[in-house]
Amino acid sequence: MHDLAAAANDRVDAIVADTLALCAVESPSRDAAASRRSADAVRALLVDRLGATVTEQTIDGHVHVRATWGAPRVLLLCHHDTVWPLGTVDRIPLADGDLVSGPGTVDMKGGIAIAVHALAMLREAGGDAALEGVDLLITGDEEVGSPTSRPIIEASTARAALVLEAAAHGGEVKTGRKGVSIYRLEVVGRAAHAGVEPELGVNAAVALAHAVLALTELGDAAAGTSVTPTVLQAGTTTNTVPASAWIAVDVRAWTVAEQQRVDDAIRALVSPLAGAAIVVHGGINRPPLERAMAVDLYTQAAAVAAELGFEPLRETAVGGGSDGNFTAGAGIPTLDGLGPWGGGAHADHEHAVRAAFAPRTALVAGMVRRLLED
């Protein structure tokens, strides 16, 4: 294993350079032209570093890039889209130092570079045969909920998924992620003149207020389940009883059972205000990544880290979702957070720690080699 650690150290400048090159090609999720340019940059990297045969799927303007060697057994999962609008790199320039900083560095183009160089090290040591069984999938819509890539991800036949999202701040890999549900509750009432005959109306705003209180009762802090009303709107004019109102709701849960409990309860909501109706849109977006789906891979990764001579590998669980939620939900053992550690994802101070790139690349290479040998 020490050969991997040395090889990763030797190529850290190239890993960082590739990260910054990918970041320089901006890729907001909903911009089809930007997604195309970013996918071209990813394709060029895969061809240059891996000699890969690259395939693509473009769905609703989102470009998903893939390189596969033989029948997939190990899925490496990344995304090349970001939350940043075009022009952000002019406002927040990319920089290389102790911190590799700028939009997209830690979320998650640094992870793409790590995945590519981890595979490149294995290929340099053993040729394409060393990658037999690897499936590298780099999607283009993760930041908007993976609406077009989710079926592709869930159709994977791999026996293990390694997700190159950023590690936690201390370098911990992620063995748990909360499931995410997203709802929009529409309340239908009846309009009336607020001054002349308010009694003839059914006030959707009042009905919405009751719904908000009912929603807040569905959370369970002890179980780690949050039900959070976020954006809401009611009414049209100040002198009209509101005929309609709506609210957006964010739900997070550690377990499938809790996520389903809340979903059932939201769909069963009935307004206590006579004449008002509640219509529920949305639902479960990402199932949880429960630790049971990650613990075996984490144990193996910890053993690889020890063989590489690294500090003990730690684990954590986080509230945010990733595409690892989908692989776990599809029954594929999944280990997340294998990208670099840093901070500021989705914020102006986004950065990856430069010292993270070499050990993470060696760890991913070691995990892929171990899983393929198994």
pLDDT digits (tens, 9 = 90+) for 184-235: 999 999 999 999 999 999 999 999 999 999 999 999 999 999 999 999 999 9
| Cβ proximity of 85 and 27 under 8 Å | no
With tokens 């990650």, the residue in question is 294
Distance (Å) of CA 346 to CA 24, 85, 94, 106, 243: 16, 11, 15, 9, 37
Residue 51 reports pLDDT greater than 90: yes
CA dist 364 and 362 (Å) reads 6
DSSP 79-141: E--BSPPTTHHHHS--B-SSEEESTTIIIIIHHHHHHHHHHHHHHHHH-GGGGTTEEEEEES-
At 1 the pLDDT is: 64
Which stretch of DSSP H or E encloses residue 303?
helix 295-307
Instruction: Indicate whether 144 and 229 sit together in one domain.
Output: no
Question: For all residues of the chain together, what is the average pLDDT?
Answer: 97
| Cβ proximity of 358 and 100 under 8 Å | no
Q: Which of 233, 255, 286 is the last residue of a domain?
A: 286
CA dist 77 and 162 (Å) reads 6
Instruction: Indicate whether 89 and 166 sit together in one domain.
Output: yes
Instruction: Indicate whether 83 and 217 sit together in one domain.
Output: no
Q: Which of 262, 286, 310 is the last residue of a domain?
A: 286
Instruction: Indicate whether 70 and 119 sit together in one domain.
Output: yes
At 374 the pLDDT is: 81
Is the Cα dihedral 341, 346, 350, 351 positive or negative?
positive
Q: Which domain holds residue 103?
A: 2-177+288-373
Instruction: Indicate whether 262 and 187 sit together in one domain.
Output: yes
| Strand runs labelled E in 210-256 | 226-234, 240-241, 244-253
CA dist 247 and 182 (Å) reads 11
| Cβ proximity of 206 and 273 under 8 Å | yes
Q: What is the CATH number of the domain that holds 68?
A: 3.40.630.10
For the chain, give the percent of residues with pLDDT over 70: 100
Sheet holding 179-188, edge to edge: 226-234, 244-253, 179-188, 277-286
Instruction: Indicate whether 161 and 35 sit together in one domain.
Output: yes
At 358 the pLDDT is: 98
Residue 365 reports pLDDT greater than 70: yes
Q: Helices 12-24 and 2-10 meet at what angle, rounded to 10?
A: 50
Instruction: Indicate whether 329 and 262 sit together in one domain.
Output: no
| Cβ proximity of 328 and 287 under 8 Å | yes
Q: What is the CATH number of the domain that holds 263?
A: 3.30.70.360
- When pLDDT is cut at 50, 70 and 90, the band that residue 84 belongs to is very high
Instruction: Indicate whether 34 and 92 sit together in one domain.
Output: yes
Instruction: Indicate whether 108 and 193 sit together in one domain.
Output: no
CA dist 146 and 140 (Å) reads 8
Name the 3-class secondary structure at 334. Answer: strand
Residue 116 reports pLDDT greater than 70: yes
**Length of the chain counted residue by residue:** 374
CA dist 163 and 368 (Å) reads 12
Residue 360 reports pLDDT greater than 90: yes
Q: Which of 271, 286, 301 is the last residue of a domain?
A: 286
Q: Percentages helix, strand, coil for the chain, rounded to the nearest 5?
A: 40, 25, 30
Q: Which residues are catalytic?
A: 81, 142
CB burial string 216-250: b at 16+ within 10 A, e below: eebbeeeebbbbebeebebbeeeeebbbbbbbbbe
Instruction: Indicate whether 202 and 294 sit together in one domain.
Output: no
29 token code pair = 């999720």
Instruction: Indicate whether 25 and 171 sit together in one domain.
Output: yes
Report how many domains make up the chain. Answer: 2
Instruction: Indicate whether 241 and 369 sit together in one domain.
Output: no
CA dist 293 and 333 (Å) reads 5
CA dist 134 and 368 (Å) reads 8
At 308 the pLDDT is: 97
